[in-house]
Structure 1
Amino acid sequence: MDQNLNEYRRWLDQLLDKGQTVQVPVHGMSMFPILMPRDTVQIRRIKWENLNPGQVLVFECEGKWIAHRLIAVNQQEKSLLTRGDGLPAPDKPIMAEKVKGVIVKIIKTRSPFAWTINTSFDRFMVFAGPLSGKVFWFLGRVVSWGLRVWN
């Protein structure tokens, strides 16, 4: 399984390197309520100079691809501070080379709609995150429990 997953990620990396947009499923609750399990996201590469707080990035951390909101850019160290909207605290800083891309579209599983991301609402979440993260974390646990019960 790990070998297949690694091959899949290498293939996604190659497509992103060619300038293509890739589509992948979401599995966790760390970005609740923006992203939910079974949603699908579209990712495209992004240049360092185009990174802005509020964007939802996909980056590699401990062998996993994670989608979290960018909350600060450290130009000197070329590092980024991120946080899941549904988490109470920020992540450890990540280095720029770990970024796979930025989420450009969300396709909701339980809805016929898709929408673009990284709007003014997403920039607002950078400032609201310290408070909303705790609220979303709690609500995410309740929703996660409900999904397990009803599925």
Structure 2
Amino acid sequence: MFFIAIVIIILATRFIILPAVTGTDVPIAVVEGKSMFPLLREGDIVFIKKVSPEDIHVGDVIVYEYRGKYIIHRVIKVIHQNGKTYYVTKGDNNFVIDPYYEPGVPYDKVKGKVVEIGDNTVLKIPYIGYYTLWINK
């Protein structure tokens, strides 16, 4: 019975409380791969908050959707074109910018900005997401 109560609390937090507080349907994400190393490691869980296009700046780490997958990368350039905002992104450990969208990631594909505490310190839970990565493989 205790286990069921814990599962219900976790599910309610993930699917009801966190989305309401953060303003996004994707309030947490699990880091896959090494593209954001050393800031983020595979299996880290990061917290995401929805922000307006004007609140995403060069240096921010965002989560965006591409073909059903979430990508967590840093904004290296903001482009304002034809009344829309686009973000050129790149993983900290990658040599090239993300090629998925031209001229950059459109705001409507951005799920949110990774929550920071202090200067360039990301709010994360290290390695806990490995379980999720293992289940999905």
- TM-score using structure 1 length: 0.58
Aligned-pair identity in percent equals 34
Work out which of the residue numbers 80, 87, 99 in structure 1 matches 2:94: 87
Matched residue SS, 1:75: strand
Structure 1 unaligned runs (5+)?
1-10, 111-151
Task: State the alpha-carbon separation in 2 of the partners of residues 16 and 42 from structure 1.
Answer: 13
Work out which of the residue numbers 103, 109, 114 in structure 2 matches 1:98: 109
**Matched residue, 2:8:** none
Would you say the 8 A contact 1:16–1:45 is kept in 2?
A: no
Matches within 5 A, 1:1-150: 15=19, 19=23, 22-76=27-81, 77-92=84-99, 93-104=104-115, 105-109=123-127
Task: State the alpha-carbon separation in 2 of the partners of residues 54 and 16 from structure 1.
Answer: 26
Task: State the alpha-carbon separation in 2 of the partners of residues 73 and 30 from structure 1.
Answer: 20
Q: Which of the two has greater helix per residue?
A: 1
Task: State the alpha-carbon separation in 2 of the partners of residues 99 and 17 from structure 1.
Answer: 17
Question: RMSD between aligned alpha carbons?
Answer: 2.6
Shift of residue 62, structure 1, vs aligned partner: 2.0
Moved over 6 A (4+): none
Matched residue SS, 2:54: helix
- TM-score using structure 2 length: 0.63
Structure 2 unaligned runs (5+)?
1-14, 116-122, 129-137
